[in-house]
Amino acid sequence: MTIVPETWSEVAEFKAALRATRKAKREIWRRPKPNDEEETEYFSVFTGKHYTTKRGYRLHWIYSSEKRKRDRASRDERLSKAEYALMELSAKLNARNLKTRSAIEAAVSEIVEKQRVEGVLRVTIGTSRESYREQIGKGRPGKHTQYKRRVRRIYTLMWQRDKAALKLETRIDGIFPLLSTDPALTPKEVLQSYKYQPRLEKRFAQFKSIHNAAPLLFKRVSRIEANMFLFFIALILQSLMEREVRNQMLDQNVEAIALYPEDRPASRPTTNKILDLFDRVSTYSILQDDRIVEEFKDELTDLQKTILEYLAISENDYWGQN
């Protein structure tokens, strides 16, 4: 599943239909707002069956209460920026390269298109005539200087928000289309899978940055698959380690542990930071005739011992002793 780009004709057609008439929808999911457990956000799906023109994939038109707020705030911000830009443009009219209607229209169109407020901000170019005297001939003016009267066109800008168009735009606030190639999935399952994607993408980021996966020069596909399988196992172990530590913190009511530099707290420790904590731990051995006669170990810190406890690893097991 994936979100459908705005450039697809299916998106423009559905939004145009929704502006023209309201469509029924039903709530499919309600959850606490991320990073704010006190508020709730909900999702609905528009009734009816929708498909892509090509290949006939299923489209689920989702409505989000939080996206609705963001869309409205974004439009208000873009309108304010466009109005400010028009105010600045108005002060520059009738001078230099803004003396003709075509030049002014081009400048106005650039502002409106940049802020994406076409159709909701109405801009009018007004004209008036101003007469002035112009000296005939050269030289300093005197009592015998003659003048001729000329008339020039003065351009002005006026703009206002189209309330009727803005009201229609509010009908499409908060909606987005999800495409699914699996017709057996319900709209809620498609939405929840889509919302889970960032976690998968985070693993891909760790796959490339933490595990340093790089292009392979193997000739046989089987060797590449074997190598990628090892990375896959490493990612599984990494996720299990993170889950175990976080679950232990939750069970013991520990909000955060000092894993970051300068002992800054980490509320959701990652495997990378956990392993970095043990990076400088060493053992030292004294050899005599290729025999270990004495062995020393670094003293583990309280934090290192806590992590081992969370992972159910004893110190003997950590040092590889039976």
Asked whether the predicted pLDDT for residue 322 surpasses 50, the reply is no
Of the ranges 24-28, 144-148, 277-281, which one carries the lowest mean pLDDT score? 144-148
How far is residue 190 from each of residues 41, 187, 308, measured CA to CA in Å? 17, 5, 38
Give residue-wise pLDDT tens across range 288-320: 888 888 888 888 989 999 999 999 988 888 887
User: H or E element: which one contains 127?
Assistant: strand 121-135
Query: Is the whole model's pTM more than 0.95, yes or no?
Result: no
The CA distance from 177 to 61, in Å, is 4
Give residue-wise pLDDT tens across range 149-176: 877 888 999 999 999 999 999 999 999 9
- CA-nearest of 48, 41, 60 to 24 is 48
The CA distance from 259 to 92, in Å, is 56
Asked whether the predicted pLDDT for residue 91 surpasses 70, the reply is yes
- Report the percentage of the chain scoring pLDDT > 90: 47
pLDDT, residue 51, reads 92
Query: ∠184-200-47 over CA atoms, to 5°?
Result: 35
Contact call for residues 264 and 258 (beta carbons, < 8 A): yes
How far is residue 171 from each of residues 3, 72, 73, 227, 279, measured CA to CA in Å? 19, 11, 14, 51, 55
Asked whether the predicted pLDDT for residue 217 surpasses 90, the reply is no
Give residue-wise pLDDT tens across range 98-116: 989 999 999 999 999 999 9
Give residue-wise pLDDT tens across range 231-289: 888 888 888 998 999 999 999 999 999 888 888 888 888 888 888 888 888 888 898 88
- Enter the tokens of residue 272: 């990378």
Question: What is the average pLDDT across 25-45?
Answer: 88
Q: Hey, is 17 helix, strand or coil?
A: helix
Higher per-residue confidence, 272 vs 187: 187
Higher per-residue confidence, 223 vs 320: 223
The CA distance from 173 to 264, in Å, is 40
Give the total residue count for the chain. 322
Looking at residue 299, its amino acid is: E
Q: What secondary structure does DSSP assign to 71-104, as a single string? A: HHHHHHHHHHHHHHHHHHHHTTTTSTT-SSHHHH
- Enter the tokens of residue 241: 């380690």
Grade residue 321 by pLDDT with cuts at 50, 70 and 90.
low
- CA-nearest of 115, 93, 100 to 161 is 115
What average pLDDT is seen over the chain? 88
Question: What is the average pLDDT across 42-67?
Answer: 93
Q: Count CB neighbours of 177 within 10 A.
A: 21
pLDDT, residue 79, reads 96
